[in-house]
Amino acid sequence: MKAVVAALAANIGIAVVKFGAFLFTGSASMLAESVHSIADTGNEVLLLIGHGRSDRPRTEEHPFGYGRERYFYSFVVSVMLFTVGAAFSVYDGAMKILHPAAVHDPAVALAVLAIAAVLETLSLRTGVSEANQVRGGRSWQSFIRRAKAPELPVVLLEDMAALIGLAFAFAGVSLAWLTGNSFWDGAGSLAIGVLLAAAAAILAVETKSLLIGEAASADTERVIVAALEDGPEVERVIHLRTMHVGPDSLLVAAKIAVHADDTAEQVAAGIDAAERRVRRVVPIADTIYLEPDLYRPARSDQTDPSVIAVQRGRPRRPARPSHPSPP
């Protein structure tokens, strides 16, 4: 959350300075950027609220906890960015083009935009530093698309959109100043609105996917399958289903093949041992449901492609010697 707090602090200061510059200059681009920063400030507040509410203990009504609160509030961020930031910027830009008004003291607006660019760059640097600690070797595009914690992708997209928006505003004010035509100021506001709409759409798509339930990564599922099969009591994993019920909480459900001659007590002990192995390698696996079964390759429900892909190419463990059933 360090990146969220840094972005919040930067956006509060930037919003105040930008709005003051708008009152002084009357620039539509400056007003659009002011609204953009106000929306970003509200977004960071929503992320903090969502993070705080997600820590509540599970209840009878919500037995899996409140981890998805973080996904919900991140989705609200995308809606707010579109409605408050994008819609207003497009409207203001269109009004400025239809009803031109001169920009007063454009040098003030340009100076404020330059200061805002420095502050946004510092905020983005903090976000990049925090993201580098968790993204591993993934590309930035893959990190934003696959991250299970929504806060860092939201802050990174916001900061990048803010820097591009500042460039649009700088261009709009400069061209209006150089040409004496306020059309360019309105065009800058329009460009900012389209940019915010695009950023909001990306955020909405990614957070919607998390909100309705995403599986664990392929690497995590491979680790889970290996842990389940790493014991004599489990012949193989027949099929596996995983779902993030929060960034730090994973639901694991699997059908496992046990030995036909195991007693109920042996099966129960084997399931407990398998769950311990999974939690040891995947600590966020809070809830695990294992269904014992006998493996019959001819059955259609015992040919899970995801598990076959994990098991393919791995040598089979020798079968456990059979023992006579008790009389």
Residues of the chain with CATH 3.30.70.1350: 218-311
Residue type, 123: S
Which residue matches tokens 């209840």? 59
Q: In the chain, where does the domain assigned CATH 1.20.1510.10 lie?
A: 2-212
Give the mean model confidence (pLDDT) for residues 111-119: 86
- E strand residue ranges, the chain: 236-246, 249-257, 287-293
Tell me: pLDDT of 124 over 90: no
CA–CA distance, 269 with 290 (Å, rounded to integer):
12
With bands split at pLDDT 50, 70 and 90, how would you rate the model's confidence at 192?
confident
**Residue 161: φ, ψ to 5°:** -65, -35
End-to-end CA, the chain = 61
The winner for highest mean pLDDT among 71-85, 118-132, 230-244 is: 230-244
Asked whether residue 114 carries a pLDDT value surpassing 50, the answer given is yes
**Residues 238, 307 contacting (CB under 8 angstroms):** yes
- Summarised one tens digit per residue, pLDDT across range 26-43 is 777 777 778 778 877 888
* pLDDT tens sequence across 68-108: 888 888 888 888 777 777 887 888 788 888 887 777 778 88
* pTM of the predicted protein model: 0.72
CB 172 within 8 A of CB 188: yes
Cα separation values, 326 from 85, 102, 262, Å: 72, 95, 10
In three-state secondary structure terms, 197 is: helix
Can you tell me whether residue 104 is helix, strand or coil?
Answer: coil
**Candidate CATH numbers 3.40.50.920, 3.40.50.720, 3.40.140.10, 3.30.70.1350; the one for domain 218-311:** 3.30.70.1350
At the second CATH level, the architecture of 2-212 is: Up-down Bundle (1.20)
Instruction: Single out the residue of 50, 48, 54, 52 nearest to residue 12, CA to CA.
Output: 48
Q: What is the pLDDT of residues 266-316, one digit of tens each?
A: 899 999 999 999 999 999 998 999 999 888 776 555 555 555 555 544 544
Q: What is the DSSP string of 5-63?
A: HHHHHHHHHHHHHHHHHHHHH--HHHHHHHHHHHHHHHHHHHHHHHHHHHTSPP-SSST
* CA 121 from centroid of its chain's CA atoms: 21
Instruction: Please give the pLDDT value at position 196.
Output: 84
